[in-house]
Amino acid sequence: DIQMTQSPSSLSASVGDRVTITCRASQNIYSFLNWYQQKPGKAPKVLIYAASSLQSGVPSRFTGSGSGTDFTLTISGLQPEDFATYYCQQCSSIPFTFGPGTKVDI
């Protein structure tokens, strides 16, 4: 299985901050990487697919980059509704696997 790691596991930020979350895969996954946001008691919501493509309806302050084994999710200008947990997920090979998550709070 491809192992996904994320850093940091949690971070504290303020409204307006620029936040960067890192995801690393245990082997080359090219651009087969997705990012999700999850709020308590809710299902995950896709933000970015294929490493850098913005899902329809997602604000442009969310950007994804990277390829191979190292990826980043950046939130430029954190908004109150962005306080949540963020997960990366590889779709390069079965079983699809998720990172452990990064919790963004105040």
Partner 1 sequence: QVQLQESGPGLVKPSGTLSLTCAVSGGSISSNNWWSWVRQTPGKGLEWIGEIYHSGSTNHNPSLKSRVTILLDKSNNQFFLTLSSVTAADTAVYFCARTQTTSWNVGYFDNWGPGTLVIVSS
Q: How does DSSP classify residue 29?
A: -
Alpha-carbon distance 5 to 8, whole Å?
9
Sequence-separated (6 or more) residues with CB below 8 Å from residue 73: 20, 21, 23, 35, 47, 48, 62, 63, 64, 86, 88
- Shortest gap between Cβ of 31 and partner 1 (angstroms)? 7
Pick 15 or 105: Cβ nearer partner 1: 105
Pick 68 or 100: Cβ nearer partner 1: 100
- Shortest gap between Cβ of 5 and partner 1 (angstroms)? 12
Site residues for partner 1 per CB under 8 A: 1, 31-32, 34, 36, 42-46, 49-50, 53, 55, 87, 89, 91, 94-101
Strands of the sheet with 4-7, listed across from one edge: 4-7, 18-25, 70-76, 62-67
- Shortest gap between Cβ of 45 and partner 1 (angstroms)? 8
Pick 66 or 78: Cβ nearer partner 1: 66
Tally the residues of the chain: 106
- Shortest gap between Cβ of 13 and partner 1 (angstroms)? 22
